[in-house]
A and B are shown apart, each in its own frame.
Chain A
Amino acid sequence: MTYLRNNWWKLLGVLLLLYVIAGGLLFEAPQLPVIRETVRNIYFHVGMWFSMMFILFMALIFSLRYLRYFRPEDDLKALSAVKTGLVFGTLGLFTGMVWAHNTWGSFWVNDPKLNGAAVGMLTYLAYMVLRGSVDDADKKARLAAVYNVFAFVLFFVFIMILPRLAQDSIHPGIDGNPALSTGDLDPRMRKVFFPAIAGWMIMAWWIFRIYYRITLLRKGLEELNEND
């Protein structure tokens, strides 16, 4: 019973995603020219991308907390969150590429949002490189935390601000918040889209927690061996 009380949200996430798989593929979807049935990918592609933004935002919070209290756990949490964000970002890019291939016939088109997303991902990859290039643990944590704040701002400039300044994009949301405004999404899709966002976010948080526990365990073992 205690197990269920502690893990109910994980089960909820799995159930939501099972509903998304079934509803997303079987429920009726609007028929748009060019996009047609591929519109169903919105439940996966956008869901993963939103989860990435959520988990990267959490990484920012952990980094800010580290800079405030200098607790090594917060640095490890930020690192785990960035790693999880990179996994979801890669999945988001991949599902987007498959979608583009099926609608526009090319895996990568010259779209401001696509290029922004790619550069944004590179910004976070640089975070990992930065961590790898500093040996001193304290210095590494401080530098990484400061860089993470910078990376988050830069990432949002690349995926939210710069694409909106462009004249033309295959992505929605040049003039507002895509998918969340009332007129943006067909009501038939909303009943799967919102559970999809919640389900993917729960999944991202769950993966982040596992990642963090593994990182903490590894650190504990290293410290134990060092003292031997």
Chain B
Amino acid sequence: MIEPGEKMIVVVIVLSLILVGIASFMFYLERRLARAEKELKKLQSEKTRENPEGV
């Protein structure tokens, strides 16, 4: 059996840090996406205003 000694705890800490890093990146990505979606919506509405008939 693996003794929950120091080595295993280091592995757990490293893996946890990797997971937290990935999760933080995903949260950051979602924030960036929300901003980009807003920007796109603005561009689309501007376009419709410029060309209401869509021709």
- A residues within 8 Å of B by Cβ? 7, 10, 14, 17-18, 21-22, 25-26, 28-29, 31, 37, 206-207, 210, 213-214, 217, 220-221, 224, 227
Alpha-carbon separation in the docked complex, A21 to B18 (Å): 11
B1 → chain A closest CB, angstroms? 7
Interface of A (DSSP majority class): helix
**B residues touching A (Cβ–Cβ < 8 Å)?**
1-2, 4, 8-9, 11-12, 15-16, 19-20, 23, 26-27, 29-30, 33, 36-37, 40, 43-44, 47
Which residue of chain A has its CB nearest to the CB of B9? A26
**Using a Cβ cutoff of 8 Å, how many contacts connect chains A and B?**
53
Kindly provide the distance from the CB of A22 to the nearest chain B CB, expressed in whole angstroms.
5
A-B contact pairs, 6 of them (CB 8 A): A14-B20, A21-B12, A25-B12, A29-B1, A217-B36, A227-B47
**Are A17 and B33 interface neighbours, CB within 8 A?**
no
Q: Are A220 and B40 within 8 A (Cβ)?
A: yes
B50 nearest CB across to chain A (Å):
10
Q: Which residues of B contact A210 (CB under 8 A)?
A: 26, 29-30, 33
Q: CA A152 – CA B19 in complex, angstroms?
A: 30
Q: Is the CB of A26 within 8 A of B26?
A: no
Complex CA distance for A18 and B21, rounded to whole angstroms = 12
Contact A21 B16 (CB under 8 A): yes
Point out the residues of chain A lying under 8 angstroms from B26, CB to CB.
10, 206-207, 210
Q: In the bound complex, do residue A28 and residue B1 qualify as a contact, i.e. CB atoms below 8 Å apart? A: yes
Residues of A close to B19: CB separation below 8 A: 14, 17-18, 21
Q: Are A224 and B44 in touch, CB under 8 angstroms?
A: yes
Question: Are B8 and A26 in contact, CB atoms less than 8 angstroms apart?
Answer: yes
Give A156 to B7 CA distance when docked, in angstroms. 40
Inter-chain CA distance A220–B29, complex, in Å, is 18
Please give, as numbers and ranges, the residues of chain A lying within 8 Å of B40 by CB-CB distance.
217, 220-221, 224
- Please tell me if the beta carbons of A25 and B1 are within 8 angstroms of each other in the complex: no
Q: Which A residue's beta carbon lies closest to that of B55?
A: A227
Across the interface, which residues of B come within 8 angstroms of A221, CB to CB? 40
Beta-carbon contact of A37 and B2 below 8 Å: yes
Select which of B12, B29, B30, B36 is within 8 A of A26 by beta carbon: B12
Instruction: Provide the bound-state CA to CA distance between A14 and B19, in Å.
Output: 8
Give the distance to chain B from A96, nearest Cβ to Cβ, in Å. Answer: 18
Closest to A14 in B: B23
B2 CB to closest chain A CB (Å) equals: 6
Nearest 5 A/B pairs, CB to CB: A26-B4, A14-B23, A21-B15, A220-B40, A213-B33
